[in-house]
Amino acid sequence: MSRPGLFITFEGIDGAGKSSHIEGLAEAFRAQGRTVTVTREPGGTPLAEKLRAMVLNDPMDALTESLLIFAARRDHLCQVIEPALARGDVVLCDRFTDATFAYQGAGRGFDLEVLSKLELMVQTGLAQEPGFMRNPDLTVWFDLAPEIAAQRLAGARVPDRFEAQPVEFFRRVAQGYADRAATAPQRFARLDAALDRHRVWQQLTSVFVRRGWLAIMVATQGGGQ
Ligand SMILES: Nc1ncnc2c1ncn2[C@@H]1O[C@H](COP(=O)(O)OP(=O)(O)OP(=O)(O)O)[C@@H](O)[C@H]1O
Ligand SMILES: Cc1cn([C@H]2C[C@H](O)[C@@H](COP(=O)(O)O)O2)c(=O)[nH]c1=O
């Protein structure tokens, strides 16, 4: 019997620890017989990856940034996410629209009403029922103080346009995530991302076990700090 697709997104400020766990979670789902599509935003298709390179590297204003991100999202939804969900895959997506509200909205101060209109336009007209708006089934929010994230990222890689922002920008982004989570508390699962990797992994897997999406607590991931 085929199982319905699951759309799971991962959010948090830069350096919160999302990427450290997504592949482990994909393996846990595969071990239980699921087909998994691992993807990311901005990106996930050849066109969206080109837009990602622009957004992360080229100077632009907040409207241009938002339009490019939503254009990339539309292509990603049409080419990757919707087909994968229609096949019954588990889709694990590193960031989605909550990031736009947190970074462009709260971080850059861009108009939230405009973002809501773009969200509606880009995330409808994709699936069978008219008016259906694609949203994640679950959003895992890695909540971490910006000061700790900055310490973790210090010297780790060449910063892009976002990673180069000051800590005050990330305070606003973190607040943006908190505001967004408050509007959809059933969809969001908050993790305390300040804990060591093993404890973050335990919190993460228990979210999926509680929902009945993973059958057992899966063994350890990563090797601590
Ligand atoms: N629980 C943890 N404790 C300490 N360090 C961690 C923890 N989780 C991840 N790290 C380290 O912090 C850095 C950022 O982690 P990671 O790349 O997973 O974050 P991210 O949320 O995916 O960031 P970004 O969105 O900017 O790519 C990495 O160097 C990683 O090894
Ligand atoms: C989806 C999305 C992303 N961003 C920003 C957030 C990050 O700084 C980068 C992506 O880098 P990552 O290492 O892959 O996390 O893009 C954004 O500003 N708005 C968005 O909608």
- Name the packing angle between helices 146-153 and 167-183 (round to 10°): 120
Candidates 20, 40, 162: which one to mutate for ligand 1, based on the most atoms within 8 Å of Cβ?
20
pLDDT tens over the chain, length 225 residues: 578 899 999 999 999 999 989 999 999 999 999 999 999 999 999 999 999 999 999 999 999 999 999 999 999 999 999 999 999 999 999 999 999 999 999 999 999 999 999 999 999 999 778 889 999 999 999 999 999 999 999 877 889 999 999 999 999 999 999 999 999 999 999 999 999 999 999 999 999 999 999 997 665 564 443
Give the whole-angstrom CA distance, residue 207 versus residue 201: 10
Query: Which alpha helices (H) appear in the chain, and where do they start and end?
Result: 19-31, 46-57, 62-76, 82-87, 97-99, 112-123, 146-153, 167-183, 197-210
What sign has the CA pseudo-torsion 12, 16, 21, 22? Answer: positive
Residues with CB under 6 A from ligand 2: 14, 40-42, 56, 69, 94-95, 99-100, 103-104, 162
**Second CATH level (architecture) for the domain 6-211:** 3-Layer(aba) Sandwich (3.40)
Domain ranges of the chain: 6-211
Closest ligand 1 atom to 16 CA:
21
- The ipTM assigned to this model is 0.98
Taking a C-beta distance cutoff of 8 angstroms, is the pair 29, 5 a contact? Answer: no
Closest ligand 1 atom to 195 CA:
1
Q: Which two tokens stand for residue 14?
A: 């830069």
